Each structure stands twice: as C-alpha cells, then as structure tokens.
Structure 1
Amino acid sequence: MKVEIIMKQRVRHLRSLLNGRQAQRVKLLVLGRNTNDGLLAKLFIYFMLTIVAYLYLQPFLYMVSTMVKTLPDLLDPTVQWIPRSIEWENLSRALKGLKYQESVLYTLTLAVIPSFIQVLICSITGYALARLQFSGKNIYFALILLTFLIPPQIMIIPLYVIYSKLGWLNTPFVFIIPALLGQGLKSALFIIIFRQFFQSLPKAIEEAAMIDGASIFRLFFRVILPLSIPACLVVFLFSFVWHWNESYLSSMFLSQDFTPLSVRLEKLETAIFGREPSIEMLAANPVTEGTKMAGAFLIIFPPLLVYMIAQRWFVEGIERTGLVD
C-alpha cells in the first residue's frame, strides 16, 4: 500500500511538473521573454502597422481606383473601390492634356541637375561646418538655419524681380543657379544632414590623409566624399522628389514655355477643354475626377519607381546620417 501511495504521489508530482512546464511554455509563447517577443506583442505591432499602412496606401488606392472608373461608376455612390468596368480613356486623356513626354523632360531637367549640384555644394558646405575651424563658423551656420526657417512666400517678389532682370524666367536657371550658390530648394536642410554625417566620422581618417600629404581638397574628394555615399544618396533622393513635386515656385517662374508636370496638372482641365471650363462645358462633361487622378498617378509614378529601386540604400543612408535619432 505504501508503495502504491508513493507511486501515485510521484505521478501527481510529474503531472504537476508537466503542467507547469506547459503553462510556462504557453506563457513564453504569448508574452515572451521580453516585451516585444511574445505573440500578443507581435499581434499588436502587426495591427498598428496595418493601420498605418492603410492610412498611407488609402489615397494611392483611391487614386488608382478612380482613374480607371467609367462615368457611370463615378456618379454611382455604391461603387467605392472596385469599378464595374475598367476605363483607360482617362489615362490617355491625361497623357494628352499633360503633354507628358515633353513635360517629363522638363521636369527631369529641373529635378536631376539641381539635385546633383546640391549634393556637391551642400556636402562641401557641410564638411566645412563640421570639420574646419574658421572665424564666424557659428554665425554662418545660424544664417543657414535662418534661410531654412524663412518661408519662400516672403522672398517671392524680390526673387521674381531679380530673375526677370537677369532673363531667367521660364528657364531652368531659376533652380540651377541658386543650387550652385547653396541657396537651392531645401539646401539648408541638406547642409545640416551632411554636417551631422561628417561629425560622426572618426578624425583618424583625416589625420592619416594629412600625414600622407593630402591637401584639404584632395582629402575631401578622394577620402571623405566616397565615404559619404549614403548621405549623398539620401540628399539626392530628397532633392529629386522635392524638385519633382515643386509647384509653387514653378508656377511663379515657369508658367509659359518651360512648364513642368506639377504646373500642368493644375491646368489640366484647361488643356482638356482648350480654355478655362465654363458651366456649360462642365455640364456636358460633369466628371473630370478620373482624368485628374490619372494625371496625378502619371506624375507620382517616376519618383515612386526611383524609390522602389533605391529603397534599400535610402534606408541605410537615413540610418547612417542620424535622421532617425
């Protein structure tokens, strides 16, 4: 009898140990060893990421859905996301109204050339502010920050007068020359990015190059600039996208002969109707929303393609430049 009682007690003890281990495993699976390891935390993270992704993708999905809708689908409130039939006429009408091939060349000129110039000029300026010692360095940096804080609307009238007297209106010089002088679109931000990046580099690299007899320019172009490729890529992509989407300055300075896509989108209805649409024209063709969405899609597609190709290097560059801190 004693042996049987002892055996039963041991069996109960083993069962309790197994149940305790299973409970511990379930607890580790649900809660995890750390806060973000458990299944519950992962489900919460995926839930939040899904909400954020929807908030970002919802305008894009609405744009794609609207640009392929027919007129009855646009007028039918029951048709929200999936059209009954796909209409490609909106896309062809937007291509024609935007003069897409011609406008893409103009926009590429305004986006690519100033972007390369800003990478070069802002990297030189950022390196000087980060590494070189000269009198008034803090004052220069404060002035650069001031140019970043001043809204462009305040300077638009004197800039227009200056560009008009120099004959730069309706030419790409209104963006190229300021970029050469370090006063291009968002140049102050790019200088800050480069300054932040160069301050993170070890000084031993420069000291070794100086010992080998390298001048300051040779040190920068042969040693420092190749090391700053991640920062250069970040600045180039930022500059490219901002120049591509720029509409305010472009509408003020480039409203006639040299017209980029951002300005043509604002005048898409005028291009379709031949003149500013009247009430009678809008009554004959009451919905132009599909054509507008098609034009917007055509404008954002090239930067989206560039970002999809350079996404990995762009994220790595942001991490190395310290923008995520």
Structure 2
Amino acid sequence: MKGDGLAARANEAISRLKQDSGHVLGSRKAQQVRKMLVGQHVNDGWIAKIVILLLLAVIGFLYLQPVFYMISTMLKTVSDLIDPVVQWIPRTVNWQNLSDAWRGLRYPEAFANTLTIALVCSVAQVCSCAVTGYALARLKFPGRNLAFFLIIVTFLIPPQITMIPLYAIYGKLGWLNTPLVFFIPAIFAQGLRGALFIIIFRQFFLTQPKALEEAAKIDGASSFRLFFRIMLPLARSACLVVFLFSFIWYWNMYYEPSMFLGKDFLPLSLRLNLMQEELMGNTAINFNAGFGKDPISEGPKMAAAFLIIMPPLIVYMITQRWFTEGIERTGLVE
C-alpha cells in the first residue's frame, strides 16, 4: 500500500513538473513571438517595420505619381486620351508624341543652350563659392562678419524684388539676350542660389581642424596654396553637392530666362511654352482645333516634359551615392 502511494505521489510530481515545464515553454514562445512582433524597442518588431514600409510606399507613390502620369500620357494615342476608360495603361503605345515633342522643342538646339548655361554656371559657382566660403571661414579681414551678414540678406531677399534693377543694369552693360547674364554673376559667386552655396562651403571649412593650416603654414605654404592644395581637395563632397544643386536649379529655371533671354538663345524651359506655336500645323495633334480648344494635346506636352527632366534624372542616378555621402559630410542633414 505504501509503495502504491509513493508511486502515485511520484506520478503526480512528474505530471506537475511536465505542466510547469509546458507553461514555461509556452511563456517563452509567447515572449519570443511578442519580441518578434513588437521588439525590444519601438522600431525593432515586424509590426513597426510593416508600418514604416507602408508609409514609405505611400510617400513614394505620391512623389512618383506625376512621373507615372507623365509617362502614361505621353504614350497614349488621341483616342486613348479622350477615352475616360483608359487611365494608366494605353491600349497602343504611341511614339509619335515623342517625335512631335522633339521637333516642337527643337531639342538639340535647346538642349545645347540649357546644358551650356547649367554646366558653365555650376562649375563657376563651385569655384567662386568655395573661395568665398573659405575666406569667410578661415581668413581674418576687416568687415568679415558684415560681408557674411550681407550674403545672408541676399539669400533671404526674394529674387523678384531685385529683378527690375538687374534688368536695368544688364541692359546698360549690353548683356541682355545673351548667356552672360548668368555666366558673370556665377563667376563672382552671385549666381542662382549663390548665397546658399557660400554658406555650405563656409560651414564645411569651419569643421576642418586648424592643425592642418598650422602645419602647412609652418612648412611655408601661403593662403592661396593652402586652399588649393589642402582645403579644396578635402571639400570634394561639398563641391559635388553644390555642383548638383546648382546644375539642377539652372536646368529647371524659368523666371530668369524669361526676363533676360531673347529668342536667339532659348533653354528648354522656354521652348516648352513655344512648342504650341511650333506644332500648330501638325494634324496628328490638331484634332480639336476646330472646337476653339488648345490644339496641343496632353501627349506631346507630357513627352516634352519627359525629355526635359530626363537629363537631370540620369545625372542624379549616376551620382546618387556620392551625392548622399556629400550631404552627410557637409552637415546639411543636421
């Protein structure tokens, strides 16, 4: 009898241990599942990652939706454009819109004009703004703080306020209707967004250790040689950021060319406005001219916009990695 009681107690103890171990294993699995879903921190779990991915997908779609609409519209025929059933995917791909836009923009000539302005002014601004930013950051001269204050003021003043005085000055100098209205200010660090680029270079050079300058000066290097042999090579990331920003802004500018340039030297942004007159006689897109509406359909206009934005997109895709590194090193994300 005693042996049977001991055996029963032993079985009960073993069953309790099994139940306790089962509860422990179940709690551990529940903790692992909870840790996997929620994570130790807010952004470690799968739930937070899924929410972040969905949010990024929505934001990405909002940014890319105009580009998708542009590509979809430029590939549509006239029947697809007037058919409300066709939304994104055209029934037949129409490459004629690109051909019309190419001719309407006079793309080779306008592309050469735009590239000349953007490339020359960007390189000039990188050089001039780098020198100005280094002088404001490292050199001590009378009126340095006042000069930096005036540069900030020029950055804060809207360009529309200074447009009439600049037009009068350029007219007296004989620069109107020529690219000199963009080349000369860029050479003297007063081009498009020049004040911003000076501030970027100044902040970059302020972060460099003074030991480099002291060692160079001990070796007998002048300020000129110190800048071009030591400081400027260190500022390659800042130079790339300034070049890309300047190139994109000069490529996309519209207000300044419409004020200063004539019909002999038109960039792509102004050619887009003149494309309607260039394509008036094209029967392929003049389908609704008899109803008193705009004879230029959405297809050629979207194709023209696509041709305009493609070169900057290609430049950015090639230099994306270096551009991101430059943003981090110049402190623009702070």
**TM-score band w.r.t. shorter chain:** over 0.9
- Tell me the amino acid that sits aligned with residue 274 of structure 2: K
Q: State which of 128, 131, 137 in structure 1 corresponds to 2:135.
A: 128
- Secondary structure at 2:327 match in 1: helix
| 1:178 corresponding residue in structure 2 | 185
Distance 1:167 1:136, change over 3 A: same
| 1:320 corresponding residue in structure 2 | 329
Residues 244-293 of structure 1: CA distance to partner in whole angstroms, max 9, x if unpaired? 0011111111131011101101111012127xx9x946658755111110
Q: Quick check: 1:216 aligned with 2:223?
A: yes
More displaced stretch, 128-137 vs 228-237: 128-137
Q: Quick check: 1:73 aligned with 2:83?
A: no
Q: Quick check: 1:115 aligned with 2:122?
A: yes
Kindly state the Cα deviation for residue 157 of structure 1 after the two structures are TM-superposed: 1.8
Whole-angstrom CA distance in 1 between matches of 2:59 and 2:212: 42
| 1:101 corresponding residue in structure 2 | 108
Q: Are the aligned partners of 2:280 and 2:296 in contact in 1 as well (CA < 8 Å)?
A: no
More displaced stretch, 21-30 vs 281-290: 281-290
Kindly state the Cα deviation for residue 197 of structure 1 after the two structures are TM-superposed: 1.1
- Secondary structure at 2:89 match in 1: coil
| 1:305 corresponding residue in structure 2 | 314
Q: Quick check: 1:245 aligned with 2:252?
A: yes
- Counterpart mapping for 1:77-88 below 5 A: 77-88=84-95
- Tell me the amino acid that sits aligned with residue 315 of structure 2: V
Unaligned runs of 5+ in 2: 1-7
% same residue: 57
- Tell me the amino acid that sits aligned with residue 279 of structure 2: I
Whole-angstrom CA distance in 2 between matches of 1:144 and 1:112: 24
Residues 18-48 of structure 1: CA distance to partner in whole angstroms, max 9, x if unpaired? 1111011101100112211110110111011
- Tell me the amino acid that sits aligned with residue 165 of structure 1: K
Q: Are the aligned partners of 1:170 and 1:253 in contact in 2 as well (CA < 8 Å)?
A: yes
- Tell me the amino acid that sits aligned with residue 321 of structure 1: T
| 2:70 corresponding residue in structure 1 | 63
**Matched residue count:** 323
Kindly state the Cα deviation for residue 156 of structure 1 after the two structures are TM-superposed: 1.6
Distance 1:285 1:130, change over 3 A: closer
Unaligned runs of 5+ in 1: none
| 1:290 corresponding residue in structure 2 | 299
Whole-angstrom CA distance in 2 between matches of 1:256 and 1:264: 9
| 1:51 corresponding residue in structure 2 | 58
Provide runs of 4+ in structure 1 moved above 2 Å. Answer: 279-287
Whole-angstrom CA distance in 2 between matches of 1:84 and 1:173: 48
Q: Are the aligned partners of 1:106 and 1:259 in contact in 2 as well (CA < 8 Å)?
A: yes
Whole-angstrom CA distance in 1 between matches of 2:226 and 2:42: 47
| 1:268 corresponding residue in structure 2 | 275
Kindly state the Cα deviation for residue 78 of structure 1 after the two structures are TM-superposed: 1.7
Larger CA Rg, structure 1 vs 2? 2
- Tell me the amino acid that sits aligned with residue 66 of structure 2: P
| TM-score computed with the length of structure 2 as normaliser | 0.93
**Please, what is the CA RMSD of the aligned residues?**
1.7
| TM-score computed with the length of structure 1 as normaliser | 0.96
Whole-angstrom CA distance in 2 between matches of 1:97 and 1:282: 22
Kindly state the Cα deviation for residue 135 of structure 1 after the two structures are TM-superposed: 2.0
More displaced stretch, 127-136 vs 85-94: 127-136
- Secondary structure at 2:279 match in 1: helix
